[in-house]
């Protein structure tokens, strides 16, 4: 029941309530009408028996009486003993389709029982017609109420659906949009106004965040660059000390760049969409110097629509992560399904295959040889994959780590010509 829409639940509830009320009212009506009509017939039978009893007092007793006529009445029938009715009292019995009234009249020859009968057929016919009408009318009214409730709830909930669909389309890229506000002054209108106020506050917060990112990018990069230049000037005097300092400055610069990129991704910075050849990006990443061998297994014409700079950063982070942990070789594979980076290092424990994508998370035991990195590389790679409508996951592998980038869009990465790709394999 909870899985049904509000419109359906209200319609069902209204239909059940109306059907229950109408059924109860119909039963009360039938019972009341039956009692009233049968009471009227009983009164008619009693009236007739009183009239016959009065006539019997004025006329001599009738020894034999003909059978009841078609009108349902009977002539007085003399009886020497009563049948349950006392002198001057009427008794009415409803049985066998008749209302039979009887009384005892005391005459000169002794007590005489007088009876009169009135048929219940008109009552039964009237009740039958009423029952047929109710059997048709009650379901018809319930169906009519269900249709009217469905239509009414559709009109009432139409603004809610409009608000929902508009709100679902609002992202960090178009926070200037607002949900439609109904002209009414009901709860739906107040909900829409509250949501628009919240969207305005959220838009202001995002704008402040973007401005902070821009300011931080300017304020942090310049001092780091200046510090690096001054240290290089002191290289002749203390080469070992300056080299260590420059290494730390480079790490600070890298960390600053990573944090600023994450801030832009979190702020929903719009991506410049172009057609990017994944194989070319992978080849460029593999061409950088590395302490281990990098093997390429590339299919041609695997094109992804997105930001080239972001995709290059994602692939570079995956390759750098694999190079740091590989024993001898890293394999970069590009197919029509996406991109895979595999190393032959110690691998990622199953329990940590999601945690490695958390920011500043680094494995302490399985990858103790990792002396570089800020703990943001894989987090940035996953955010970039998500921004392009894809996924980045750690797959099962017999040895080492296997990181897989997949596009979840309906078309996915594909060759623009649709032709089977020609493999290009081999170490770089």
Query: Nearest 5°: phi and psi at 143?
Result: -65, -40
Pair (283, 256) in one structural domain: no
- The closest of 156, 165, 179 to 6, measured between CA atoms, is 156
Q: Is the pTM of this model over 0.85?
A: no
Residues 251, 283: one domain?
Answer: no
Domain termination site, one of 235, 266, 297 = 266
Q: Is residue 23 part of a domain?
A: yes
Per-residue pLDDT of 154-191, as tens digits, reads 888 888 888 888 888 887 667 788 888 888 888 888 88
Tens of pLDDT, residues 103-156: 888 777 778 888 888 899 999 999 999 999 999 999 999 999 999 999 998 888
Cβ burial, residue 5 (10 Å; 0-12/13-18/19+): exposed
CATH number of the domain within which 256 lies: 1.10.287
Give the residue from 266, 287, 303 where a domain finishes. Answer: 266
Residues 262 and 322 in one domain: no
On whether both 257 and 299 belong to a single domain, the answer is no
Q: Is residue 182 part of a domain?
A: no
Q: Of 248, 266, 284, at which residue does a domain stop?
A: 266
121-169 and 6-58 are packed helices; what angle lies between their axes, rounded to 10 degrees?
170
- 230 lies in the same domain as 314: no
CA 260/CA 321 separation, integer angstroms: 20
172: in domain: no
Whether the pLDDT of residue 341 is over 90: the answer is yes
Question: Is 326 within the bounds of a domain?
Answer: yes
Among 64-73, 125-134, 190-199, the range scoring the smallest mean pLDDT is 64-73
The mean pLDDT value for 379-397 works out to: 89
Instruction: Verify that 250 and 282 share a domain, yes or no.
Output: no
**Mean pLDDT across 381-405:** 89
Both tokens of 308, joined, read: 């080239």
- The verdict on 417 and 291 lying in the same domain is yes
Same domain, 26 and 138: yes
User: Count of domains in the chain?
Assistant: 3
Query: For residue 228, is it within any domain?
Result: yes
Q: What pLDDT is attached to residue 206?
A: 78
The pLDDT of 77-86, averaged and rounded, is 38
Give a yes or no: residue 163 inside a domain.
no
> Residue 403 maps to which CATH number?
3.30.565.10
Q: Indicate whether 404 and 383 sit together in one domain.
A: yes
Whether residue 249 is found in the same domain as residue 382: no
Over residues 397-417, the mean pLDDT reads 69
Taking residues 370-385, report their average pLDDT: 78
In a domain, 300, yes or no: yes
Are 244 and 278 contained in the same domain?
A: no
Same domain, 213 and 240: yes
Domain with 407, as residue range(s), is: 274-427
Contact 62, 78 (CB under 8 A): yes
Note whether residue 196 is domain-resident: yes
State the pLDDT at residue 414. 47
């Amino acid at each position: 029941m909870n899985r049904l829409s509000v419109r359906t639940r209200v319609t069902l509830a209204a239909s059940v309530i109306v059907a229950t009320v109408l059924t109860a009212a119909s039963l009360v009506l039938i019972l009341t009408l039956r009692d009233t009509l049968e009471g009227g017939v009983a009164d008619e039978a009693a009236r007739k028996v009183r009239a016959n009893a009065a006539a019997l007092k004025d006329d001599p007793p009738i020894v034999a009486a003909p059978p009841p006529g078609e009108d349902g009445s009977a002539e007085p029938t003399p009886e020497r003993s009563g049948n349950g009715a006392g002198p001057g009292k009427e008794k009415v019995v409803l049985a066998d389709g008749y209302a039979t009234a009887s009384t005892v009249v005391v005459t000169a020859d002794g007590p005489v029982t007088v009876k009169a009968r009135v048929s219940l057929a008109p009552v039964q016919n009237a009740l039958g017609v009423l029952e047929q009408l109710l059997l048709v009318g009650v379901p018809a009214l319930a169906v009519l109420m269900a249709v009217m409730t469905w239509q009414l709830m559709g009109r009432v909930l139409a603004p809610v659906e409009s608000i929902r669909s508009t709100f679902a389309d609002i992202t960090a890229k178009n926070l200037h949009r607002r949900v439609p506000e109904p002209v009414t002054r009901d709860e739906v209108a107040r909900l829409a106004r509250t949501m628009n106020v919240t969207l305005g506050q959220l838009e202001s917060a995002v704008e402040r965040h973007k401005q902070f990112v821009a300011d931080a990018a300017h304020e942090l990069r310049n001092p780091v660059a200046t510090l690096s230049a001054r240290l290089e000037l002191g290289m002749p005097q203390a080469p070992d000390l300056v080299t260590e300092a420059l290494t730390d400055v480079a790490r600070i610069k890298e960390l600053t760049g990573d944090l600023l990129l994450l801030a832009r991704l979190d702020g929903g910075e719009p991506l410049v969409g172009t057609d990017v050849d994944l194989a070319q990006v992978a080849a460029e990443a593999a061409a950088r110097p590395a302490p281990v061998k990098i093997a390429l297994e590339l299919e041609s014409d695997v094109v992804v629509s997105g930001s080239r700079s972001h995709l290059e950063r994602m692939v570079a982070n995956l390759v750098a992560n694999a190079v740091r942990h590989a024993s001898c070789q890293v394999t970069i594979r590009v197919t029509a399904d996406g991109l895979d980076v595999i190393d032959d290092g110690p691998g990622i424990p199953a329990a940590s295959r999601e945690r490695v994508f958390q920011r500043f998370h680094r494995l302490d035991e399985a990858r103790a040889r990792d002396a570089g990195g800020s703990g943001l590389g894989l987090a940035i790679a996953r955010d970039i994959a998500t921004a392009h409508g894809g996924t980045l996951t750690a797959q099962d592998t017999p040895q080492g780590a296997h990181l897989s980038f997949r596009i979840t869009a309906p078309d996915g990465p594909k060759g623009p010509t649709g032709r089977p790709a020609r493999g290009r394999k081999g170490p770089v």
